[in-house]
Structure 1
Amino acid sequence: MNQPRLFTTLDGMRGIAALGVVVLHRAGILGRFHASHGHLAVDFFFLLSGFVLTFAYQKRLDSGWPTREFLKVRLVRLYPLYGLAMLMGCVSYAMISTVGMASMWQAQSLSRLGLGLLLVPIFWNRWVLYPLNFPLWSVIFEIVANVVHASVFRRRSWRFVAAFTVAGFLGLCALLFHFRSINYGVRNPHAVWGLVRLLFGYTSGMLLYRVWRSGWVRVKLPSVCVVALLLGVLVIPVPQARIALYELVCVVVVFPVILLLGVSTEPPQVLVGTFRALGVASYAVYVVQEPWYQFLNRVWMLVPGHGELTSSWVSGTLYLGTLMGLALILDRFYDGPVRAWMTQAMTARRPAAMRKKVPPVAA
């Protein structure tokens, strides 16, 4: 437990989950292959975040590491790609607008962009929280979880965290009872249900870290099987009448089991590079999926004889392949350098006595 951990299998799972969300948002992008439950990947992300951030930072937080320093580290990790994705969303909105690029300079668009860059959701309309790039809603919820983690869950017993997990579970039951699906949170009228999903997922991840650290989990599966299990959960067809039960079992039982299996195994050397690439690309894939689709779709439709990208396996593979490529390019030439610069700038401003206490940025 004291040795450095890479959690390479979790990298592969993170990438598969991100792609599952993309395929869900673009129904038909791969022909008959659907990620019918791709929205559950968001709940898996919340669970994963709770586990990984507890593993990476809980000891420091319990030892008195200031909340503001923790949040600075998280902001360095999340904001560069978030800010770029918001700008790309504004451009893509202009591309599909009837007034073209002029819409970028309209007061409404500028206000949405400005508020988005300031991490402020648009709560006062009845549409999505981020009209310029709707998947960004879960990034904001992730930041909310980080704030609560650092300010509430430091030096707390597992019973204290478990009480919040129970509250989140009851909230999930209420959500599924009323709407028969867990897929709520992105739109303003039901944004509070996204907080319920966050509460259960994140605190469950914190508890799972304690379970894993205890050494109780001894069952291991090959990493490929673990990743395949996650993929199966996202794509398996389920009768409409049983969707609510299926989603509840997945979030409450299946995802925690898959996560514990994932942290207990590492992929063979031949797959390490692939799994790490999936993990590296996952965040960018998630946040730029919508603006990249709008751009590529506009270019694709300019080719004679082609409709939208959702019309064939060829176009779908083109979209997903270029999205993965773009994500890796952004990590190499934008996100990585910007994060390094931000970390260096913040470190230079700290008193010399604190500089040695700055931890590495966790994924």
Structure 2
Amino acid sequence: MVVTNDQALAPKPHYPILDGLRGVAAIIVVTFHLTEPLGTGHLDILVNHGYLAVDFFFLLSGFVIGYAYDERWPKMSVGNFSKRRIERLQPMVVLGMTLGALGFYFTDSTIWPLIHTVPVWKLLLVLLIGYTILPVPLSLDIRGWEEMHPLNSVGWSLFFEYIANLLYALWIRKFSNTALTILVGLSAIALAHLAISHGDVSGGWTLNVEQVRIGLTRTMYPFFAGLLLCRVAKPTRIKNAFLWCSLLVALVLYMPRIGGAEQLWLNGLYESVCIILVFPLIVYLGASGVLSTQRENKLCTFLGEISYPLYMVHYPLVYFYVAWISNHKGVTLEQAWPYALLILLGAIVLAYAALKWYDEPVRHWLRKKSSKTAPVGA
């Protein structure tokens, strides 16, 4: 008898508030990238801690992976788990890279003076590598920002997401709660050391030893803390949790830089506390929350649906925005905000269109194709 993936691994009830919070964080990421080019450096960006949304995503991902798969391993192989994760993540990776490639030669800007000297074969090579989410070496950094994914900057976090998923499937899923707690504790120490010694955790998008170390450090604690939280936490019932958790997420990510250039460690301490303590608290409260109205449920559903597409398609639009700012020196926030708002709204519309007209149909086709060959216990 052949059992389909959907039959063998029927979806468990999910946490709608966590979906909504992922969408809130994704929107804040876009605002971070839109205010980033208006700053003079990393100390005075308006949305100064927006990059911490990535660490929040990792923690949410670990929690959801543990909830969805921890109890299914007797009926699931590592190969089937990997296939399901690829089906979920890879279609939007392909679309994001494609959009980045299509816009590459149209971002005429003084900030990328050599962009039009890149031969088509090199662009296509970077695109094909990008489709696999594997990082490109600095010799293929065709944009010049020292990014491992120069066609869609945010791809670096998906690279580390895949690493965390593989570590979970091959090894860490077998850990007892005690062993997992030790791993999470050691990872927390490494994260705090990184943040306090550097002044922040920003980094991870370049293919060199230092940046890969930062990326792994940023991934290990939140992802596996999310897994541990899923295993040990006993959610209660909390009213208005979505509102309060959304406000907490916004407060953390919109907090101005702390300590300045003279006391970088203070900002690192702030980020350590946020990632190690505040983010798990937010996820716990979100998992414990109950939705009281149909409107709130629809909002969380919408935000959850667009969160991943928004994260994956917004940066190709941001490239045009950054090019416009670089070509108009001295642009102020007052001058830029109408264009920034247009990019934000356009990214949301694009994300929703990508979800409905591309991501969902492609994933449905992949699941249908996969189910025809999935044996019992796969």
- Indicate the TM-score class for this superposition, using the shorter chain for normalisation: 0.7 to 0.9
- Give the stretch that moved more between structures: 274-283 or 120-129: 120-129
Contact 1:18/1:41, CA 8 A, preserved across alignment: yes
- Give the stretch that moved more between structures: 43-52 or 266-275: 266-275
Residue 250 of structure 1 corresponds to which residue in structure 2?
274
Residue 84 of structure 2 corresponds to which residue in structure 1?
73
- Give the stretch that moved more between structures: 103-112 or 131-140: 103-112
The equivalent position to 1:261 in structure 2, one of 285, 297, 302, is 285
Cα deviation for residue 140 of structure 1 reads 1.2
Cα deviation for residue 166 of structure 1 reads 1.9
1:106 aligns with 2:127: no
- Give the stretch that moved more between structures: 191-200 or 231-240: 231-240
Cα deviation for residue 121 of structure 1 reads 0.3
- Give the root-mean-square deviation of aligned CA atoms: 3.0
How many residues in Structure 1 have an aligned counterpart in Structure 2?
Answer: 345
Cα deviation for residue 139 of structure 1 reads 0.8
Cα deviation for residue 297 of structure 1 reads 7.7
Contact 2:60/2:283, CA 8 A, preserved across alignment: yes
1:83 aligns with 2:125: no
Contact 2:99/2:313, CA 8 A, preserved across alignment: yes
Cα deviation for residue 275 of structure 1 reads 1.6
Residue 360 of structure 1 corresponds to which residue in structure 2?
none
Cα deviation for residue 8 of structure 1 reads 1.4
Residue 308 of structure 2 corresponds to which residue in structure 1?
283
The equivalent position to 2:55 in structure 1, one of 27, 34, 43, is 43
Which amino acid letter does the alignment assign opposite residue 8 of structure 1? P
1:117 aligns with 2:125: no
1:274 aligns with 2:299: yes
Residue 72 of structure 2 corresponds to which residue in structure 1?
60
Cα deviation for residue 36 of structure 1 reads 1.4
Contact 2:192/2:268, CA 8 A, preserved across alignment: no
Partners of 1:220 and 1:155 in 2: CA distance: 35
Contact 2:55/2:275, CA 8 A, preserved across alignment: yes
1:223 aligns with 2:237: no
Residue 196 of structure 1 corresponds to which residue in structure 2?
217
1:168 aligns with 2:182: no
Contact 1:300/1:308, CA 8 A, preserved across alignment: no
Q: What SS is found at the alignment partner of 1:234?
A: helix
Contact 1:7/1:266, CA 8 A, preserved across alignment: no
Cα deviation for residue 293 of structure 1 reads 2.9
Please, what TM-score do these two structures have when normalized by structure 1? 0.86
**1:56-95 alpha-carbon deviations (Å, 9 max, x no partner):** 111112x251101000000000000101101111122221
Partners of 2:189 and 2:36 in 1: CA distance: 34
Q: What SS is found at the alignment partner of 2:204?
A: coil
Partners of 1:33 and 1:297 in 2: CA distance: 14
Partners of 1:38 and 1:130 in 2: CA distance: 20
Which amino acid letter does the alignment assign opposite residue 191 of structure 2? L
Partners of 1:255 and 1:52 in 2: CA distance: 14
1:93 aligns with 2:114: no
Partners of 1:255 and 1:172 in 2: CA distance: 14
Contact 2:36/2:47, CA 8 A, preserved across alignment: no
Partners of 2:332 and 2:366 in 1: CA distance: 39
The equivalent position to 1:337 in structure 2, one of 357, 361, 367, is 361
Residue 227 of structure 2 corresponds to which residue in structure 1?
206
Cα deviation for residue 298 of structure 1 reads 7.8
1:316 aligns with 2:340: yes
The equivalent position to 1:5 in structure 2, one of 6, 13, 23, is 13
Partners of 1:299 and 1:248 in 2: CA distance: 35
Work out the percentage of aligned pairs sharing the same amino acid: 31
Partners of 1:135 and 1:69 in 2: CA distance: 26
Gaps of 5+ in 2: 1-10
Partners of 2:123 and 2:332 in 1: CA distance: 25
Contact 2:99/2:316, CA 8 A, preserved across alignment: yes
Partners of 2:334 and 2:156 in 1: CA distance: 24
- Give the stretch that moved more between structures: 317-326 or 307-316: 307-316
Cα deviation for residue 195 of structure 1 reads 0.7
